[in-house]
Structure 1
């Protein structure tokens, strides 16, 4: 009897005490649903939802019922925060950890990979839900009561059989992520633009034929996936999405791209594969565009006008088109790392292509006449080496035909004064020298220099006189040397934004690099690093880290998550035995490359789906 009295006292005191169950969250529900309020918890859960799981969910606010063969959601799940739990009847001497009336509102519910054909309006009994994941079921519709989940931030209804969306979904004003891929949607409900907080929207693999012009009002949208639909055009108003970074329109019926798309200043990744494009769009305002995928179209020409604005492009996919030539202006793409020209009608390449620092060049399926097939078969670096040798041959022929005039000074015969004066570049590359001569630095004189290129030499240390240019230089290329350490002189270039150190012998970076407070891109590929250098985590301006082809065995996902500007991380061909699931929380990453590592999961099929799919896969595996 004492235990029963104690239980009653607990019920009375909990109604007003600081540990009381939040009654306010039930007030609105009880007005609509007379069943709301405390009842003895129903015993209809059976073996499908163990009581221990419900008990843990009341403490954590998270409930995962994925893969339990459910054909309907048990009532005890909907009423988890409303009914007296079973343990209240089993144990009346409550310890501090067993006060069921101090339970936490359910904020995350995962019911994916089941056999649900419908959801009831009891969904409204969980008004605190922030995450609702019901992917991989057999839902044909969503209940109108979904409008009452006003706190919902992520809704995943992918891989179902939805034919329409209820208009009530437009009431979810706090929604940030909406995943509707692999359904049977033919249209978007009116008022969809009211989801003004939406950042990530996936509508891929549906039956959409148009995109509403009102989409332009989704001003917070960062990622939009429209791939594998039946779109014949995009609305010009799409340019109103000022924050959009990732646009995927693969596998549609697009014949043209609205010119307004070129005004999207935030766009970084654009996928237009498998459409019916005949012309490559121009992108005068897309200064941040890093990847452009237009393979499997019907593009016939590639001109300077298409290339001159792609200053930041890292990946250009032109495979399976009808290109007949590549212009000399391809050298404008100085950041380009991957170029896919396979399966076109190209018979020759400009030798100037050899000046690019490509990691990957695909030429298969072209009727090449100027490069022997055995050279192409040896891979990217051999092709570039061949093209560079042809450049040298041409330069030698020109030197033989032009006699040196008496006006040429000795120092100017070795230092490219034109590059210094006109291009603001101090270029002393590809000399196979172990030291940079003083006359190279002397040649700068009073000129302004923004870039230094000492690549392709035999430098074992960074020239100390580089510090003389610390007030000017923003771009330094020291790739293809023999550097085994970084001197402090480099760490004093506080205006540095781009640093290329690939193909050296580096096994660590100095802590003093933390002073590079403007550094945005660092290329450390092909070195001897065994971990991601700690100092990089402390450079908040970093946007791109390229560290492929090293021996990196681990990364710290928590520190990476704090790097809010980091959007590209290349970890290909390292020694990662496992990928920490917490890496999925690095939601700012738009390009994450993991190929060529010895881990078993994520599987190759996941990696092929791209960065967003990898991050989602990892997030789903974070222990709760």
Structure 2
């Protein structure tokens, strides 16, 4: 129509009820949100100061400020006289990000021995101020965003017994770690370390060593000097060989070498680790095992899954403590030696996705304590034949059999043999 004519716009109606609905049912005002956040922050800080004052009142030498959503460390921690004597401080699961600020405060706690800063947001290089806390015996920095340790100064941590910095982005291990001569446990799992310094051999008291999920291509010979090692975890690296000096670490009970590129195991090493109980060799490139492994009579668990194995050495039947054996996903694996049928402690044997395995040894009927047997070929047709007497013995002991082709006893097929006329 002409200008000035046409349908008039509907009037906008605003009633008290509509205004109230907008205020209560729709998004709250930004100012209210900020105020609510301030109140929540005040409540959280009240809880933190309550914890600090409670520890001071009771004269505790341990202070727990974990799971407190801390963005910064309150400086009042060093102004409460009763807290100056804190020996153990737990700051894990917070949001601390500036390690300079954190450690500048912590240097005023002269008796601090245990410090847990795991699961925070500490980023970049670890503050050199941390090196001034020479009383530390246990330092945990797991699950942060650290990229580097101070190259100098950490030698001051001569009393350190536990150092754990897993799940960070550290690329290099300073040579000065060799000064941690009291260290018993070191954990650098899930970092980006490419090599270990030779000085690591100075850690004579070391019992547990974890460098899993890094980028190591070799292990220095000096690791053989760590003769008190009980647990060594090097899984998820790029190792091709092992140093023969590892044979000197005769107290090792747990050895994890899974997910590497190993093509062989030094026989002079495997025959000497007589205390070994748990051996993980999955996802490597092994096509055989040294017969010297038969000397490992304390072995309870072996994982050989995802390799290129065709068989196992007869000597493995001498590992009288063996309870669990995993050889899954070895496509060319075709034989379990008869000697292994005499392993009375066997509880689980898994040979899943080994289509070349055509049968179990007749001696397998001696596994009367077996609880799990898995020989699923991973194809439509099962390939592993299990004789009736073996199947009956295993099931009689309570074993669950997965896969395999259980042969029927002779004379029972079709209701028995037909009589001659």
TM-score by length of 2: 0.67
Q: Gaps (5+ residues) in structure 1?
A: 1-20, 22-43, 82-104, 372-389, 402-624
1:50–1:335 distance in 2 versus 1, CA, 3 Å: farther
Q: In the alignment, what sits opposite 2:392?
A: 354
Q: In the alignment, what sits opposite 2:133?
A: 80
Q: In the alignment, what sits opposite 2:139?
A: 109
Q: In the alignment, what sits opposite 2:45?
A: none
1:267 and 2:289 matched: no
Contact between 1:151 and 1:174, CA under 8 Å: does it hold in 2? yes
Deviation at 1:230, TM superposition (A): 0.5
Equivalences for residues 212-611 of structure 1 within 5 A? 212-237=243-268, 238-282=270-314, 283-297=316-330, 298-302=332-336, 305-321=338-354, 322-343=356-377, 345-346=382-383, 348-352=385-389, 353-356=391-394, 357-363=397-403, 368=405
1:369–1:331 distance in 2 versus 1, CA, 3 Å: closer
Contact between 1:341 and 1:362, CA under 8 Å: does it hold in 2? yes
Contact between 1:236 and 1:260, CA under 8 Å: does it hold in 2? yes
In 2, distance between residues paired with 1:207 and 1:140?
Answer: 15
1:347–1:249 distance in 2 versus 1, CA, 3 Å: closer
In 1, distance between residues paired with 2:275 and 2:407?
Answer: 44
1:327–1:190 distance in 2 versus 1, CA, 3 Å: closer
Q: In the alignment, what sits opposite 2:162?
A: 131
Deviation at 1:130, TM superposition (A): 0.3
Deviation at 1:351, TM superposition (A): 1.8
Instruction: Select the structure of larger CA radius of gyration.
Output: 2
In 2, distance between residues paired with 1:153 and 1:116?
Answer: 22
From 89, 110, 113, the counterpart of 1:61: 113
Q: Alignment length, in residue pairs?
A: 309
1:177 and 2:208 matched: yes
Q: How large is the RMSD of aligned CA atoms in angstroms?
A: 2.8
In 1, distance between residues paired with 2:221 and 2:107?
Answer: 38
Q: Gaps (5+ residues) in structure 2?
A: 1-84, 86-97
1:323–1:46 distance in 2 versus 1, CA, 3 Å: closer
Contact between 1:139 and 1:161, CA under 8 Å: does it hold in 2? yes
TM-score by length of 1: 0.46
Deviation at 1:328, TM superposition (A): 3.5
In 2, distance between residues paired with 1:347 and 1:150?
Answer: 54
Deviation at 1:149, TM superposition (A): 0.5
